[in-house]
Homo-oligomer: A and B are copies of this chain.
Amino acid sequence: MELRIEVICTGDEVLTGKIVNTNFSYITQKLEDFGLSVQWETTVGDDRENLLLAFQLAGQRADAVIVNGGLGPTVDDLSQEIAARAAGVDLVLSEEWLSRMEEYFRRRSRVMPPNNRKQAMLPAGAEVLDNPIGTACGFAVDIGRARFFFTPGVPRELRRMLEEQIIPQLLAKSGMQAAIFLKRFHSYGIGESHADTLLAGVEDLVPDGSVKLGFRAHYPQLETKLTVRGKDMDDIRRKLAPVEQEVRRRLGNFILAEGDQTLERVVLEELTARQAALSLVETFTSGQIAARIAHLPGAGKVIRRGIVVPDLAEVCAAVGLESAALANGITREAAEAVARAVRQQTGSTHALAVLIEIDDGADRIDIGGTVCLAIATEHDVASRRSRIVGGREWVRLGAVEMGLDCLRRYLKALPVHERIDFEIAEPRVAAAGAKPSS
């Protein structure tokens, strides 16, 4: 059966826009990943009358309701009180949760403040939903015809409770097969509709319909998702294997990472594995390439140097090159010379130079940039030239990703240049020489 699921977000901070409601988009996405759909979302403030009405209305319409927020210790946290009223029961002290909280504070060498006691007051008959990392007690209770799940507003507490306790209950309630798995592929260079075309029919490799394909585009990356249902994880692995193999085959070198892995961590791991040291030269990306990778744990010994030179005319001076190298604007050869020079200058094993010439004029959607990038090692150099159009910020984001992705390709011995959906042909004759070099 398809469950009718609603979400109620509570709190003045969300209702007044002081914080953007990312908890809701997290909840609904996570449910989608498990084949569950939210039909209706309501946000109300810390207000008894509106909370009660929201609970009652959802209790009339839905099978399951997830309520977020209002479980804290202060007077404006009203979720337990109004849940009890809506359910027509009393608030009672949960001795179990009270001792859990006292233990929580004891382990942190603190005494529990008296107002935290409020967090152990639950509607009579409520089922406790454990919160192993906070003092807000989750709980489930029936209101009207719906099962209500009350969750904390702190994102990491919400996440853990949703994934470990609420989603399994919802799946059981919906009568779906118990085991479900989400496989994700991250790519750069393929747009959503192109990927959709490339992957047409992959779901049908498992004829019983238990594999579902989906996408999530966040420029410049695209996430390709396979949701797989099965009896158990063995069943899932068996179903998933031919489909994921086919996805890898069709998206090919464009897949930059899978699952929780990221592009910058793939690059860092490749460099770490060969005890390499990397230097970077950036212009218009203004430090964003360095900022993506250099903050990662373990990057300190691998990222030797990042050099940001917003003015192209200063690039040669910054890396100790004669200024003639960039006299005719940017070229692949110039990028190669800069990468070679910075590698030598800093004594690193690898160097990435990303030079960008941005169109003149006020920012607008048809402002473009020409990117020449190069990767140098002691005995080798690879480069590519590309043109991206879509406004200054669009070019900048695209160039950051292109720089990191070409470095990944180089380190994985893949072609540094493959045509991507975000680049356009250059209108100039000069572009004729811009063939892939590797």
Please list the residues of chain A having a beta carbon within 8 angstroms of any beta carbon in chain B.
Answer: 15-22, 24-29, 32, 37-45, 47, 50, 54, 57, 216, 280, 284, 286-291, 293-295, 297, 299-301, 303-311, 314, 318, 346, 363, 392, 396
CA distance A26 to B17 in the complex (A): 7
Q: Tell me the nearest residue of chain B to A304, going by C-beta.
A: B314
Say whether B306 contacts A307, CB under 8 Å.
Answer: yes
CA distance A291 to B397 in the complex (A): 12
Partner of A25, one of B17, B54, B291: B17
Partner of A309, one of B32, B305, B311, B318: B305
Q: Closest 6 CB pairs between A and B? A: A306-B308, A287-B290, A287-B287, A286-B294, A17-B29, A17-B25
CA distance A49 to B280 in the complex (A): 55
Say whether A41 contacts B43, CB under 8 Å.
Answer: yes
A347 to chain B, nearest CB (A): 8
- Could you pull out 26 A-B pairs where Cβ atoms are within 8 angstroms? A15-B39, A16-B38, A17-B24, A17-B26, A17-B28, A17-B32, A18-B29, A18-B216, A19-B25, A20-B20, A21-B25, A40-B43, A41-B42, A57-B57, A286-B294, A287-B290, A287-B306, A290-B308, A295-B310, A295-B392, A300-B311, A303-B311, A306-B307, A306-B309, A307-B307, A308-B308
CA distance A17 to B54 in the complex (A): 21
Say whether B294 contacts A310, CB under 8 Å.
Answer: yes
A403 to chain B, nearest CB (A): 13
Partner of A308, one of B18, B28, B303: B303
Say whether A40 contacts B44, CB under 8 Å.
Answer: yes
Say whether A295 contacts B305, CB under 8 Å.
Answer: no
Q: Tell me the nearest residue of chain B to A363, going by C-beta.
A: B297
Q: Tell me the nearest residue of chain B to A32, going by C-beta.
A: B16
CA distance A280 to B318 in the complex (A): 13
A197 to chain B, nearest CB (A): 19
A103 to chain B, nearest CB (A): 19
Say whether B308 contacts A294, CB under 8 Å.
Answer: yes
Partner of A15, one of B38, B284, B294, B318: B38
A290 to chain B, nearest CB (A): 3
Say whether B289 contacts A287, CB under 8 Å.
Answer: yes
Q: Tell me the nearest residue of chain B to A215, going by C-beta.
A: B18
